[in-house]
Amino acid sequence: MADKKTIKINIVDSMLDEETRAALKAPTELIVDGWGLFVGKHSERLRVTKKSELVQELPLASLQQVLITSSGVSISSEAVEECAKRGIPMHFLDYQGRAYASLYSGQLTGTVKTRRAQLLAYTDQRGVLLGKAFAAGKVRNQLNLLRYMNKNRAAKSPDLHDEVRQAAIDLEALADELAGLTGANIDEIRTSLLILEAEAARLYWAQTRNLLLAEVEWTGRVGQGATDLVNSLLNYGYGVLYTRIEQALVLAGLDPYAGFVHTDRPGKPSLVFDLVEEFRQPIVDRVIFALLNLGVSLEQEPDGMLTQEARRQLARKIMERLTESKEPYEGKRQTLQAIIYSQARHIATFVRGDLGRDYSPFECSW
């Protein structure tokens, strides 16, 4: 016999119309990956077809973003218009996960007050505080992920456990050193900040390599242009995460191209690269290292690019981590997706002088 709670849920569910039930159960992202696909609007849904055959469709009411992750995809103007009206961004990624274009509603980028404050913050102590927070948050999340991955290794691999534990202690000292940097503006501390951040990265990547299964071939971290499996997964995963960070910044009224630690360059979303530092480890690294240590099959093409199935699987796992995993944050447990949006809003209120305190980076649990 079903319990009262189950009966209540079933009764409530039966009172909803089919469209509403579908919206509640549907994923919040539409991932379009495949040559020859067409994205169009059908009633209150986005529909993906190939040669008139239905591939996928999702209710617009449930969508938070659309990811176009391959070439050869066509989109109707009606689909673009409806997404713009509803504030649903469309992000375009290449095969390596690099975002090369985004479509937003023009109304989302029409704020002025926050952007003026953001640009002025670069020249004073606000920029210093933000730069230090981004970097220190990254390092603390690096050490927290090492501690998480090292939890149950004391008995099986005591030497490795002690080595990782010492690396975490060293990382904590670097985070404290980063927090103690002083200067009149971000330009005065950038070199020292980047040196400390690079030393932290060296420690972190060395130990994550040691914590992976011996069967996983990986010599170390390589960014753009990498062809090995682990770095290809990391680069693609970061690309997926960039889109969510950019969306949060735009919704907060910030200019994603005006950063603090990452310098200005045409076409470079510097503030996206700044804020993403707080979230690489708890979202992307944790997902990828878990998949690899569980022996999940993630394959590459002969040219080193991830297969379509590997890209889809990784993107879905990252989205699940964003929307389903919860972390302690501001007195309660919240999804990582909600935390990203909150951190973006905190940047905006901090540069405007409305936050009432200094900006604090997000630190994940372990």
103 contacts: CB under 8 Å, gap ≥ 6: 80, 83, 84, 89, 90, 91
| Predicted local distance difference test score (pLDDT) of residue 103 | 84
* CA 287 to centroid of chain Cα atoms: 11
| Predicted local distance difference test score (pLDDT) of residue 109 | 57
Where does the pLDDT of residue 335 fall: very low under 50, low under 70, confident under 90, or very high at 90 and above? very high
- Residue 260 predicted with pLDDT over 80: yes
- Residue 221 predicted with pLDDT over 80: yes
Domains and CATH numbers, the chain: 25-88 (3.100.10.20), 113-352 (1.20.120.920)
CA-CA distance, 76 to 90, in Å (whole number)? 13
Where does the pLDDT of residue 227 fall: very low under 50, low under 70, confident under 90, or very high at 90 and above? confident
Q: What angle do CA 157, 158, 161 make, to 5 degrees?
A: 85
Percent share of the chain, pLDDT over 90:
66
From 95-109, 237-251, 303-317, the region with the lowest mean pLDDT: 95-109
| Predicted local distance difference test score (pLDDT) of residue 6 | 33
Hey, how many other C-beta atoms are within 10 angstroms of the C-beta on 136?
27
Where does the pLDDT of residue 106 fall: very low under 50, low under 70, confident under 90, or very high at 90 and above? low
- Residue 332 predicted with pLDDT over 90: yes
- Residue 21 predicted with pLDDT over 50: no
Q: What is the mean pLDDT of residues 13-42?
A: 64
Pairwise pLDDT comparison (16 vs 88), residue with the higher score? 88
pLDDT in tens, 176-187: 999 999 999 999
Mean pLDDT of all residues belonging to the chain: 88
| Predicted local distance difference test score (pLDDT) of residue 13 | 36
Token pair belonging to 126: 């606000």
- Please, what is the angle between helix 229-251 and helix 286-293, to 10°? 150
DSSP alpha helices (H): ranges in 96-214?
A: 113-121, 125-149, 158-179, 186-211
331 contacts: CB under 8 Å, gap ≥ 6: none
Q: What is the mean pLDDT of residues 287-309?
A: 92
271 contacts: CB under 8 Å, gap ≥ 6: 118, 249, 254, 255, 256, 257, 258, 259, 260, 262, 347
Q: What is the mean pLDDT of residues 46-70?
A: 89
Where does the pLDDT of residue 3 fall: very low under 50, low under 70, confident under 90, or very high at 90 and above? very low
Q: Which helix (H) or strand (E) holds 100?
A: strand 99-103
Where does the pLDDT of residue 141 fall: very low under 50, low under 70, confident under 90, or very high at 90 and above? very high
| Predicted local distance difference test score (pLDDT) of residue 179 | 92
CB-CB contact of 128 with 357 (8 Å): no
In the block, which residue shows the tokens 């004073």?
Answer: 124
Q: What is the mean pLDDT of residues 111-115?
A: 86
Where does the pLDDT of residue 10 fall: very low under 50, low under 70, confident under 90, or very high at 90 and above? very low
- Residue 83 predicted with pLDDT over 90: no
Nearest alpha carbon to residue 344 among 278, 274, 275: 275
Q: What is the DSSP string of 274-342?
A: HHHTTTIIIIIIHHHHHHHHTT----B-TTSPBPHHHHHHHHHHHHHHHHH-EEEETTEEEEHHHHHHH
Token pair belonging to 142: 């690096």
- Residue 259 predicted with pLDDT over 60: yes
Where does the pLDDT of residue 4 fall: very low under 50, low under 70, confident under 90, or very high at 90 and above? very low
- Residue 95 predicted with pLDDT over 90: no
In the block, which residue shows the tokens 């591939």?
Answer: 55
Q: What is the mean pLDDT of residues 152-175?
A: 94
244 contacts: CB under 8 Å, gap ≥ 6: 65, 322, 337, 340
